[in-house]
Structure 1
Amino acid sequence: MRFLERNRALIFPVPHRSRKGILRGAIVLFFYLAQSPIVFPTYGVDFDQIYEYYKKGNYDVLVRASRPVLRKGEVDYKILLLYVASEPNLEEIDKTLTSIFERSKKHPGIFYNAVYLFLERALVLEATEPGGRWGKIFLEHGESSVRYAEGVYTYACILYSSKDYESAEGILQKAKEISHDAKLGKRLKILELSLQKSKEGK
C-alpha cells in the first residue's frame, strides 16, 4: 500500500501530462516493479470445490489446486484423501505425505487412511522402498485408522513383494493379532501359505 500511495501519480497520471512525463513515469514504475517483486495473496482451497473436481473427474485440476496447499499451512485431511486418490505420481504423494508428517507427529486417523491408500498404490506399482518406509510409519502410528488391519496386511505384502520374507512373516503375525473381518482373514491365510512356499523353495 505504501508503494501505491507513494507512486500514485505514476499509476494514475494527472490530466494534460506531457508524453515525456508519462514515459518517465512508466520507466520509474517498471524500475520499482523489477526491484520489488509483488507478492500476491494465496487463498486456501475449499473442500466442496475440490470434491466437485473429484466428482466430475477433473483430477488434474484437483491435484494442481490441492498439492501446494497441502504441503504448507494447516491441512484439510479430507482434501488430502481426495488428493491421494487422484494424484497419478506416487513420488509426489510421497513428498506431500512426508511434508505433512514432518510438521507434526500427531495426526488423526484420516491421515493414516490416506497413508493406507498410498500403501495400496505402492503395492500395485511394486514401489517397495517408499511402500516399506510408509508401512513402518503406518504400523507404528496408524492405529487410529479404520483401515489399520488392512494397512498392516498391505505392509506385509509389500515386504513379501520385496522378497524380505522374514520381515513379512513378522508383520503378518502382527496383522493376525489385530481384529479383522473374515474377508481379510482369508487374505492373511493366503499370504501365510505363500510365505511358507517361499521358505520351502529356498
Structure 2
Amino acid sequence: MRPYTFIKSFSRAVILIFIFHIFPFDRISAVDFDQVYEYYKKGNYDILVRVSRPALRSGEFDYKILLLYVASEASLEEIDKTLLSIYGRSKEQPAIFYNSVFLFLERALVLEAYESGARWGKIFMSKGESSVRYSEGVYTYACILYSSQEYEAANSVLDKIKSVPSDSKLGKRIRILEMNLDKKKEEK
C-alpha cells in the first residue's frame, strides 16, 4: 500500500468516526412506521429491530412499530426490556400496547420463559382489558402458570377468564386446561 493511499484511507476513517461520534444512530428518535413496515414485509427483521429498539426505549413512537418489533425481535429478553421501558414511563397504555404484550406472552409460553411470562401475564390480566386479544391473553397466562407448575394460580386465572366472553374454540381449550388442572388436584 502506498503512503498516500494509506493517509487517504486513514483520513476517511477519522472523518467517519467523527461523524458517528457527533451524530450517533441511537439519538435518532423519529422512526417512520412506513419504513419499518417495509423492513417487515421484506423480511429484514434485523434492520427492523436495530432501527426500532432505540426509538421504542427512548421516547415517543408509533405503537404499531412496537407490534412489528415484538413480532421480529429474536431475543425474548430484549422484548421484555423494551416493554418494561415503555410500561415504566406510563402505567396507562393504549390497547395496542397490550396486543404487543399478548404476542410476548405467546412467545414466553413457547420458549418456557415462565418468570417474565407470569409477570407480564399478571399485568395483562389486570390492565389489558382493552386488548382485542384479552381472553386469549389471559388464557395464555393461565397456560404459563400451569406449565410452571403453579396450579392453584392457574386455576384462579381460569376463574377470571370464565367471566370474560370468548369464542367456542377458546372455550374448548379452557375446558381442556381445567381438566388437566383437575387431574393435578387428584394426583395430590
Instruction: Normalising by structure 2, report the TM-score.
Output: 0.86
- What residue number does 1:46 align with? 32
Q: Which amino acid aligns with 1:170?
A: S
Quick check: 1:96 aligned with 2:82?
A: yes
Higher relative contact order (CA 8 A, sep 6+): 2
Quick check: 1:182 aligned with 2:168?
A: yes
1:201 Cα deviation from its structure 2 partner: 1.5
**What SS is found at the alignment partner of 2:166?**
coil
Q: Which amino acid aligns with 1:96?
A: T
- Aligned partner of 1:114 among 100, 121, 130: 100
**What is the RMSD computed on CA atoms of the aligned residues?**
1.6
- What residue number does 1:21 align with? none
Render the CA deviation track for 1:111-132: whole Å, top value 9, x for unaligned: 0000000000000011110000
After superposition, the Cα gap between the structure-2 partners of 1:142 and 1:43, relative to the gap in structure 1 and judged at 3 Å, is: closer
Measured in 2, the distance between the counterparts of 1:43 and 1:152 equals 33
Measured in 2, the distance between the counterparts of 1:43 and 1:94 equals 20
1:38 Cα deviation from its structure 2 partner: 2.9
Instruction: Normalising by structure 1, report the TM-score.
Output: 0.80
1:43 Cα deviation from its structure 2 partner: 4.6
Q: Unpaired runs of 5+ in structure 1?
A: 1-32
Q: How does 1:19-168 map to 2 (within 5 A)?
A: 38-39=22-23, 42-168=28-154
4+ aligned runs moved over 6 Å, structure 1: none
| Residue identity (%) | 69
Q: Unpaired runs of 5+ in structure 2?
A: 1-17
1:44 Cα deviation from its structure 2 partner: 1.3
Count of aligned pairs between the two proteins? 169
